[in-house]
Amino acid sequence: MFTTVLSHQNSAVSQRENRIPFDLVGTIQALKQELNAVILAHYYQDPEIQDIADYLGDSLGLSQEAAKTSADVIVFAGVHFMAETAKILNPDKLVLLPDLNAGCSLADSCPPAEFARFKAAHPDHLVVSYINCTAEIKAMSDIICTSSNAVKIVSQIPADQPIIFAPDRNLGRYVMEQTGRNLVLWQGSCIVHETFSERKIIQLKMEHPQAKVIAHPECEPAVLQHADYIGSTTALLNYALKGEADRFIVVTEPGIIHQMQKAAPHKEFIPAPPQNQCACNECPHMRLNTLEKIYLAMKNRSPEVTLTPEIQQAALHPIRRMLEMS
Ligand code: 13P
Ligand code: SF4
């Protein structure tokens, strides 16, 4: 009985402490000054989060920004592997991830113990890993890449050097096509990008014959074959803004459409639909972050992303190589 009363009291205190202020955006801006914090956000975040970010970008841009920030605190509005990369680059800074459950299906598709066995079975291979992987996988890699520099990085590796590419088989296949290289692929994939239906994209193309299909390389080959342009989120945004075309079928997480629409309000952006009548073209991990959780993370200076010094140091080298080769 006593315990129950106490826990009721504790939860009342914590509810009071975690009360959300009326001016949430203003309070976050004030906390930013107080903590000397920077908010880094990915394009797949909710529009209201994108609008308060100090820097908004794709995985490469976000790691470049994390590498050069002078802020004391990095608030990462993205998923765990992105915040982890920021921490690897900034071991002495506080890196906050508003929801520690914001993972990534692609990173989960490559468990470290299984990958260690896969790597051991290909002892003469160089390991190029897509940044969408855990710090443990990065620590086992020679070079990291993102969707915007994968082709460029693989092209710089001597032609006679055998390569393992992990964890995304779709990006891996795309890199093979673009470079003419034979890569040994880890068979991972992203639940969001695998959800797009080729049939529905063909249907949309028939309804909008003038529209350009723009797609992320994490999509399956059956979908990518219909794309007029393939690239990272930043590349898709730039392509949509620069060209003459004014209607696009966007085959990636629809969060990016907020920036497209903001920068080109006169153009039309049609989100590619998923297979079923669901919202599964939205990344369930990315969308766990909210403005409220960002506020609470800054106020409580938690949840924090942490790493062992061994993993941090081993994972730093392949990330640095990526930044040098980009
Ligand atoms: P970008 O490299 O375009 O940021 O892609 C990140 C991602 O998670 C795609 O699903
Ligand atoms: Fe991971 Fe896919 Fe979400 Fe990107 S969209 S963070 S690859 S689950």
Read out DSSP for 92-150?
TSEEE-S-TT---HHHHTS-HHHHHHHHHTSTT-EEEEESSS-HHHHHT-SEEE-TTTH
pLDDT tens profile 301-310: 999 999 999 9
CA angle 219/224/226 to nearest 5° reads: 140
The pLDDT assigned to 20 comes to 86
The burial of 272, by beta-carbon neighbours within 10 Å (0-12 exposed, 13-18 middle, 19 or more buried), is given as: buried
Q: Are residues 185 and 115 in the same domain?
A: yes
CATH of residue 163: 3.40.50.10800
Cα of 8 vs centre of ligand 1, distance in Å, is: 42
The pLDDT assigned to 2 comes to 41
66 in any annotated domain = yes
On average, the pLDDT of the chain sits at 95
Q: Are residues 12 and 87 in the same domain?
A: yes
Give mean pLDDT, residues 74-101. 98
List strand residue ranges (DSSP E) for 252-324, in order. 268-271
Q: Are residues 204 and 146 in the same domain?
A: no
| Residue 246 · residue 266 · CB < 8 Å | yes
CA angle 182/212/238 to nearest 5° reads: 75
Domain coverage including residue 248: 198-282
| Residue 97 · residue 80 · CB < 8 Å | yes
Residue 83's beta-bridge partner residues?
none
The pLDDT assigned to 4 comes to 45
Mutate to test the pocket of ligand 2, among 60, 133, 251, 286 (most ligand atoms within 8 A of CB): 286
Q: Are residues 85 and 165 in the same domain?
A: no
| 59-68 and 80-89 helices, crossing angle to 10° | 30
The pLDDT assigned to 243 comes to 83
Q: CA 80 to CA 78: how far, in whole Å?
A: 7
The pLDDT assigned to 247 comes to 98
The pLDDT assigned to 126 comes to 98
Residue 3: which pLDDT band, with cuts at 50, 70 and 90?
A: very low
Return the closest-CA partner of residue 78 out of 122, 126, 41.
41
Return the closest-CA partner of residue 167 out of 189, 145, 183, 191.
189
Cα of 204 vs centre of ligand 2, distance in Å, is: 24
pLDDT tens profile 174-183: 999 999 999 9
Residue 43: which pLDDT band, with cuts at 50, 70 and 90?
A: very high
Q: CA 62 to CA 121: how far, in whole Å?
A: 33
319 in any annotated domain = no
Residues 6 or more apart from 90 whose CB is under 8 A from it?
66, 69, 74
Cα of 7 vs centre of ligand 1, distance in Å, is: 42
* pLDDT(294) > 70: yes
218 in any annotated domain = yes
The ligand whose atoms approach the alpha carbon of 189 most closely is: 2
Q: How many domains does the chain have?
A: 3
233 lines ligand 1 (CB under 6 A): yes
The pLDDT assigned to 106 comes to 98
Residue 14: which pLDDT band, with cuts at 50, 70 and 90?
A: low
The pLDDT assigned to 15 comes to 63
**Residue 37: both structure tokens together:** 């914090």
224 in any annotated domain = yes
Give mean pLDDT, residues 162-169. 98
323 in any annotated domain = no
Mutate to test the pocket of ligand 1, among 62, 76, 110, 146 (most ligand atoms within 8 A of CB): 146
Q: Are residues 205 and 180 in the same domain?
A: no
Residue 263: which pLDDT band, with cuts at 50, 70 and 90?
A: very high
Give mean pLDDT, residues 99-126. 98
105 lines ligand 1 (CB under 6 A): no
Cα distances from 40 to residues 59, 68, 95, 180, 291, in angstroms, run: 11, 12, 11, 35, 13
Q: What's this model's pTM, rounded to 2 decimal places?
A: 0.93
pLDDT tens profile 185-223: 999 999 999 999 999 999 999 999 999 999 999 999 999
* pLDDT(72) > 80: yes
The conformation of residue 325, written as its DSSP 8-state character, comes to H
Q: Are residues 257 and 209 in the same domain?
A: yes
Cα of 230 vs centre of ligand 2, distance in Å, is: 17
The pLDDT assigned to 67 comes to 98
Residue 274: which pLDDT band, with cuts at 50, 70 and 90?
A: confident
Q: Are residues 93 and 175 in the same domain?
A: no
The conformation of residue 253, written as its DSSP 8-state character, comes to -
- Provide the percentage of residues in the chain whose pLDDT is more than 70: 95
The pLDDT assigned to 12 comes to 57
232 lines ligand 1 (CB under 6 A): yes
* pLDDT(156) > 80: yes
